[in-house]
Structures are given as C-alpha cells and as structure tokens.
Structure 1
Amino acid sequence: MKVPARSDRACFPPPGYVTVYEFSLRAGLRFPPAFGLIDILTIYGVCLSQFFYRVMSIVMGLIVLFIDRGVVLSSECLSRMGRLFSDAQRRISFRSKWLDIRTRDPSKGWISNFFYVQNDWGLQEKWGKLKELPIALHIGAEDLLRILKLPDLDALHYEVYYLSRYIYEEYLFKVGLSTQAGRSHAQMLKKSARVPEVVP
C-alpha cells in the first residue's frame, strides 16, 4: 500500500499501482480481487477507482451471491441483471429496471479518501472509457434461476433486494474473499468450496 501525497490525484496512480477508495473496502472489495471482478473490469475497460460506492457494492454483492451458489459472475450475467453507465467524468454507476436493487451509499467526500495498492493482477490503472457491451439476450430469467439454483423469480428478487448483506464480512469470509471473520458468528458459516478460476 502507498499513501498518496496531497498533490496526487485518484485518477492518476503511480505506475504499477491502482487507486482504491476507502469506501470500496466498505462496499466489499478485498485483495486479491475476486476473479469475477477482474474479468468485469477488463471486459468493460475501466479501473477500480471509477466505481461509485453503489456500483461497487452491487457488483461485489452479486459476485459473492454467485460464488455462494458455486459459480462465477460473468459479464453476460451482469449485463442481464443491469447496465453499467458512465458520466461525463467517466465515473461508473449501475441501473437496473428488471431488478429492484437497494443499496445505501454512506460515502461522503469520497474523492479525497483513497490510497494506492500495488497492481499484481494486471488491472487497468488509468481511468478508461466504459465499453458499451450488448445485453446478453441469450441469457433469460430461467437461465439465471438455473445458474443460481433458485426455485423461482420471487426467490431471485428476494436475494437481489437484500443484496447488501452479501458484502458483510461474514459472507466475504464464507466464500473465501476475506481471511478475517469480522463478526463473532462468522466462524459459524460454512466456507464455500473454492470456485475454479477460468483463464480467459
């Protein structure tokens, strides 16, 4: 980890480093980053520091939900559940008309609370232009139910409506993204089987 100087900017990390916001850790980001997150960032051509708290918490929540169900969140499944958008400053947000995803953004002064982490994962370091990917029309609701092993749409809506619980430390610990059990009852959760990482 490297602490930035007062003159440093979040969108211009030093070579070999990526910018990480303090709120991203509260949104479920852990290191090393989950494979699904690395894949999504690479495919969309953006970096970690472009994500608002809300989109980071949604993406990390979905990643944990999928891992907990024994699969890796793909960019196709993400595009089917919602869309990534960027504003004029290339900051990324998330919209979903199909699913009612509720999150609370507690971050204030987010642009000033950041630090640098050595980039050991080949992540994009500078802010990039979000690539507009087509919606994966070949993936329907029935496919998502099958992938996530859920009985019906009501069950899927329930999981996504309460998505914020999946970024709690005990769930991150359960799926192997965190080595710290943040709460006393975290040890009671059975750690999920490791999901094989697919080399692109």
Structure 2
Amino acid sequence: MKVPARTDRACFPPPGYVTVYEFSLRAGLRFPPSSELIDILTICGVCLSQFSYRAMSIVMGLIVLFRDRGVVLSSECLSRMGRLFSDAQGRISFRSKWLDIRTRDPSKGWISNFFYVQNDWGLQEKWGKLKELPVPLHIGAEDLLRILKLPDLDALHYEVRYLSRYVDEEYLFKVGLSTQAGRSHA
C-alpha cells in the first residue's frame, strides 16, 4: 500500500500501482481481488478505480451470492443480471431492468479518500473506455434460477434486493474473500 501525497491524483497512480477508493472496501472489495472481479475488469477494459460505489457493491455482492451458492459469477451471468455503463467522466455504474437492486452510497467526500495498492494482479492501471459485456441470449431467468439453485423469481428478487448483506465481513469470510471474520474495535 502507498499513501498518496496531497498533490497526487486518483486517476494517475504511480507505475505498478492501482488506485483504490476507501468506499470500495466498504463495498466488499478485498485483496487479492477475486478472480471473477479481475475477469470482469479485464473484459470491460477498465481499471478498479473507475467502478462507482454502486457498481462495486453490486458486483461484489453478486460474486459473493454466486459463491455462496457454489458457483462462479461469469461475465455472461453478470450481463444477464444487468448492465455496466459509464458516465461522461468514465465512472462505471450498474443498471438492471428487471431487478430492484438498492445500494447505500457513501459520503459526499469519497473522491479524496483513496490510496494506492501494488498491482500484483495485472490489472489495468489507467482509466479505460468501457467495453460492454455481451448480453448472452442463451442465459435466461430460468437459467439463473437453476445456476443459483433458487425455486422461483421471487426468491431471486429477494436475494438481489438485499444484496448488501453479502458484502458483510462474515459473508466475505464464508466464501473465501476475507481472512478476518470479526470486526476490529480498535
């Protein structure tokens, strides 16, 4: 980890480092990043710091939900659940037509709360232009129910509506994304 100087900017990490916003940790990001997240970032051609809190919390929540059900979140399943899109500045967010996904956005001062982490995973370091994930026509709602071992769409809607619980430390630990199950009170 490297603490930025006051003059450093989040969009220009030092060579060999990636920028991480503090909100990404609250959204479920842990190190090393999950292989699913690395694949999604690589396929989309974007860096970690381009993900908004909403995108990070939804993607991490879905990764944990899928792992909790014994399966890996593929980019095809993610694109069936919703769509990653970018705003004019290049920040990535997530939209879903058929799922009511709610996230709690961070405080207003998030833009200055960042640090650098050595890039040991081959992640893109500079901001890139979002390449959309292809929407798989062969994966339908019934396929998602089967993959996640859920009885019906109501069960899927319930799981996704309360997706934020999947980024709690206990769930992250349960699926192997965190090494610490308890919270520090230091």
TM-score of the superposition, structure 2-length normalised? 0.96
Structure 2: which 5+ residue stretches go unaligned? none
Q: How many Å apart are 1:184 and its aligned residue?
A: 10
Are the structure 2 counterparts of residues 111 and 184 from structure 1 closer, same or farther at C-alpha, using a change threshold of 3 Å?
closer
Distance in 2 (CA, whole Å) between partners of 1:46 and 1:23 is 18
Q: How many Å apart are 1:7 and its aligned residue?
A: 1.2
- 1:21-80 superposed Cα distances (whole Å, 9 cap, x missing partner): 001000000000011100000000001100111110000000000011111111111111
Distance in 1 (CA, whole Å) between partners of 2:21 and 2:136 is 30
Are the structure 2 counterparts of residues 125 and 153 from structure 1 closer, same or farther at C-alpha, using a change threshold of 3 Å?
same
Give the total of aligned pairs: 185
Q: How many Å apart are 1:122 and its aligned residue?
A: 0.5
Distance in 2 (CA, whole Å) between partners of 1:122 and 1:106 is 28
Are the structure 2 counterparts of residues 184 and 147 from structure 1 closer, same or farther at C-alpha, using a change threshold of 3 Å?
farther
- 2:103 aligned with 1:103, yes or no? yes
Q: Percent identity?
A: 92
Q: How many Å apart are 1:111 and its aligned residue?
A: 1.3
Q: How many Å apart are 1:136 and its aligned residue?
A: 1.3
Contact 1:170 1:183 in 2 (8 A): no
Q: Specify the alignment match of 2:16 in structure 1.
A: 16
Distance in 1 (CA, whole Å) between partners of 2:144 and 2:57 is 20
Q: How many Å apart are 1:107 and its aligned residue?
A: 2.9
Please give the secondary structure, in 1, of the residue aligned with 2:108: coil
Q: Specify the alignment match of 1:63 in structure 2.
A: 63
CA RMSD of aligned residues (A): 1.5
**Residues 1-200 of structure 1 correspond to what in structure 2 (within 5 A)?**
1-183=1-183
Q: How many Å apart are 1:183 and its aligned residue?
A: 4.9
Contact 1:19 1:48 in 2 (8 A): yes
Please give the secondary structure, in 2, of the residue aligned with 1:109: helix
Distance in 1 (CA, whole Å) between partners of 2:103 and 2:76 is 22
Distance in 2 (CA, whole Å) between partners of 1:110 and 1:23 is 7
Contact 1:53 1:107 in 2 (8 A): no
Q: How many Å apart are 1:137 and its aligned residue?
A: 1.5
- 1:151-173 superposed Cα distances (whole Å, 9 cap, x missing partner): 11111111000000000000001
Q: How many Å apart are 1:110 and its aligned residue?
A: 1.4
Contact 2:71 2:147 in 1 (8 A): yes
Please give the secondary structure, in 2, of the residue aligned with 1:131: coil
Structure 1: which 5+ residue stretches go unaligned? 186-200
Distance in 1 (CA, whole Å) between partners of 2:107 and 2:63 is 21
Are the structure 2 counterparts of residues 18 and 184 from structure 1 closer, same or farther at C-alpha, using a change threshold of 3 Å?
closer
